[in-house]
Amino acid sequence: MATLIIQSATLVSAGHPLHLSTVDVLVKGGKIEKIGKSIKNEDKKAQVIDGAGAFLSAGFFDLNVNFGEPGYETKEDIQTGTAAAAAGGFTGVAVHPNTNPPLHSRSEISLIVNSAKGNLVDVLPVGTVSKKREGNELAELYDMKITGAVAFSDGTHSIQQAGLMGRALLYGKGFGGLIMTFPEDDSIAGGNKMNEGEVSTYLGMKGIPNLAESVMISRDLFLAEYNDAPIHFSTISTEEGVDLIKKAKAKGIQVTCDVAAHNLVFTDEDVKSFDSNFKVSPPLRTKKDLKALLKGLKDGVIDAVVSQHTPQEIEFKDVEFQIAKNGIIASQTVLPLLVKAGFTPEQIVEKLAVGPRRVLGLPLPEIKEGLEANLVLFNPSKKWIFDDRTNQSKSANSPLYGQELTGQVLAVINNNKVHIN
């Protein structure tokens, strides 16, 4: 990349001597050459970015994205998925195994690792817990780990067999293989389409009660404690889930969790429009749940915010709500949703850059002279329109499509590459 100078940005990096100071940053050859109050531009060919009113931090990391490759490239492939991630401020993503075939052996893990080489966005594959994501037999976890898998999950398939989950936790513990799980008891959820409550009754749709999540969280916390193993809950959505995890952390159980950004802004009230772009899994819950999630984030119970980026072709979304597929494209809209939810720049950096890497045991990129630049520059006050011109994904399934949003990523830098929105 060419020489780049970011001017007059507020640095957000807890523990850094210039934390919350206005700085200029000179990046040359992919490395941070200089950080200072005012850097004189001596290179006429240098690209200059005005960071006034913007914040500079380590690049964001997303613990939950779906790219479709292999098998569902018509929804999203690695190139378009990473383009959307970069536009959303992410310099690293953990891609989940909701593919065909699923990422359940070293072959699929190698495919992702090799296909993503040289990208601005670091792509870390999450292997399956069970073969074919069927929940019956453990996949070759260790083989996938040494090939590049950063964690293990059956993606949108919740692991129903307690014995299998217990064995996975115990086995993974032996080589540092983190088990990530989507907590939902299928026998309680019943394949229903939205949150169970007043709105589902009003709309005449069968609902998924909070109990489906809390029962599974409770079970898996017992298993994690019994096996003295770490566990991560993906996309929790209920007040009860937050409470259970809070108590488990206080007890010393090795538990972390994340929440999808859309569950911090939207509720089941939004489903009244029957817009299938509000159909997600876990479903949008009540205002009471939303408030508990926000409090859980601010209290440190919830470790990270994720996009849960789930592209779908138009034929799976432009249908009746009951038969539409779950999911929204979200890599580019996490920042605006957190701004709308009232998060400060420091809280945004904590939940999008620091917390996710801490969950996976990854080092936080340092903002220091002489080191590789892994940076995001974002302005929480800048407005932009999410439409065909700005959307980087292959798909367009988002309830925010066509709207003016507040909070924009201006630039991301990683792996000697730069993306400017």
pLDDT along the chain (421 residues), means of 10: 91 95 95 91 86 97 96 96 98 97 96 95 98 96 97 97 98 97 96 95 96 98 98 98 98 98 98 97 98 97 98 96 96 98 98 98 96 98 98 97 98 97 92
* Cα gap 273→337, rounded to integer Å: 20
User: What is the pLDDT, as a whole number, of residue 93?
Assistant: 98
4-56+368-420: CATH number: 2.30.40.10
Candidate CATH numbers 3.20.20.140, 3.40.50.980, 3.40.50.10860, 3.90.330.10; the one for domain 59-360: 3.20.20.140
DSSP-derived secondary structure letter, 133: G
User: What is the pLDDT, as a whole number, of residue 332?
Assistant: 98
**Strand, helix or coil for residue 257:** strand
User: What is the pLDDT, as a whole number, of residue 67?
Assistant: 95
Pair of tokens at residue 199:
């709105």
User: What is the pLDDT, as a whole number, of residue 393?
Assistant: 97
Domain boundaries, the chain: 4-56+368-420, 59-360
Contact 304, 350 (CB under 8 A): no
* Cα gap 411→75, rounded to integer Å: 25
Q: Check: pTM over 0.85? Answer yes or no.
A: yes
Q: For residue 288, give the amino acid letter.
A: K
Pair of tokens at residue 55:
């914040």
Contact 87, 331 (CB under 8 A): yes
**Strand, helix or coil for residue 17:** coil
Q: For residue 342, give the amino acid letter.
A: G
> From the DSSP assignment, how many helices (H) and strands (E) are in the chain?
12, 18
Q: Which of 345, 350, 353, 377 is nearest to 56 (CA)?
A: 377
* Cα gap 102→275, rounded to integer Å: 29
* Cα gap 334→309, rounded to integer Å: 10
Q: Checking DSSP bridges between strand 304-306 and strand 255-260, what pairing results, if any?
A: parallel
Does residue 137 come out as left (phi exceeding 0), alpha (psi in the -120 to 50 range) or beta?
beta
User: What is the pLDDT, as a whole number, of residue 44?
Assistant: 78
* Cα gap 143→126, rounded to integer Å: 13
Buried-exposed string 65-92: b where 16+ CB fall within 10 A, e elsewhere? bbbbbbebeebbbbbbbbbbbbbbbbbb
User: What is the pLDDT, as a whole number, of residue 281?
Assistant: 97
Pair of tokens at residue 401:
């499509």
Which long-range contacts (C-beta less than 8 Å, at least 24 apart) are formed by 130-135? 130/104, 130/154, 130/159, 130/164, 130/168, 131/104, 132/101, 132/102, 132/104, 133/97, 133/98, 133/102, 133/104, 133/157, 135/159, 135/160, 135/161, 135/164
Given the structure tokens 């034929």, which residue do they identify? 315
For 388, phi then psi, to 5°, come to: -60, -30
* Cα gap 53→62, rounded to integer Å: 24
Contact 367, 35 (CB under 8 A): yes
User: What is the pLDDT, as a whole number, of residue 89?
Assistant: 98
Contact 76, 247 (CB under 8 A): no
